Amino acid sequence: MSQFHVAGIIGKQHQDPQLASTIARLAAHLRHRGLDVHFDAQSAVMTSDTLGIDAAAGLSIPELGAACDLVIVVGGDGTLLHAARELAPADVPLLGINLGRLGFLVDISPDHLEERLDQILAGEYRADARAMLDVHTDGTEGRAVNDVVVHKWNSVRMIELETWIDGQFVNAQRSDGVIVSTPTGSTAYALSGGGPLVHPALDALLLVPICPHTLSNRPLVIGGDSTIELRIRDYEHEQVRLTCDGQINLPLAEGRAIHIRRSRHRVKLLHPRGYDHFSILRAKLGWASEGRADGAC
């Protein structure tokens, strides 16, 4: 018997040709396996005719978190990032069906949906707890799965930043900004900025400068329980932005420091049997796949 009894479905926020049919297949299979199924508002409208449900019966994402013991995200990594931030207080596990492009976090193909889902419902899965970030400045708070980014906006000028870690001054830099990333986010914007790939199980945070003026200003990897403070020098309104996961913009006030630390919440991901972090890196980053069967050099 499955340990899951009530499943929530969250669909991609932008229309996709496969979305409605994939959600319909998913919901039908879950019901066949005896689970109650709830939908986010958009998915309920999209599949109301196909599944014979009330289009107005959709729940908000926090309501799904409270009602379900498993939430399945149909879309790409961006859809899962959005859901994970909203669901963090509910501590509910997430499973991703990949309709996106890269799919570092959503790793089940629609082609194998029923097979992989049956394995997971039978308890044949790998659970993966990922760190998140909390950020606050001047009474405004945000949360991120991948990264918190301070970056220039609407200007060709560099910005000037001071970085402090656990109350100790690290450096002052002129750059296009800085990325503060979790290990999960090391395959996202931080990778484009020249940061290292960090295994998601490591207790670490990354600070990656964006196009720094000084070439010796390199990415830093620090302890996961560190508190990071960023101070913006010569702040000019509308020329600097603070962004969470590239999806949420937070307001900034002149003279206010930005405080970032690991969240007490974690993202709980479920992966199908045989999940291999390094095979995903090989597939998504185009690494050579040939290797010696005996592991010898």
Q: How far apart are CA 275 and CA 231, in angstroms?
A: 40
Tokens of residue 27, six digits: 């919901």
For β-strands 258-272 and 227-233, DSSP reports them as: antiparallel
Q: How far apart are CA 233 and CA 206, in angstroms?
A: 22
If one counts every other C-beta atom within 10 angstroms of the C-beta of residue 97, the result is 31
Q: How far apart are CA 9 and CA 24, in angstroms?
A: 10
Q: 131, 115, 103, 117: which is closest to 12 by C-alpha?
A: 103
Looking at the annotation, which residues are catalytic?
Answer: 77
If one counts every other C-beta atom within 10 angstroms of the C-beta of residue 270, the result is 20
Residue found by looking up tokens 């929530």 in the block: 8
**How large is the C-alpha radius of gyration of the chain?**
21
Q: 119, 123, 58, 68: which is closest to 94 by C-alpha?
A: 68
Q: 141, 143, 129: which is closest to 266 by C-alpha?
A: 129
Q: How far apart are CA 218 and CA 29, in angstroms?
A: 49
Q: How far apart are CA 240 and CA 238, in angstroms?
A: 6
Q: Is 123 exposed, middle or buried (0-12, 13-18, 19+ CB in 10 A)?
A: exposed
User: How distant, in Å, are the alpha carbons of 28, 134, 152, 271 from that of 123?
Assistant: 20, 31, 46, 11
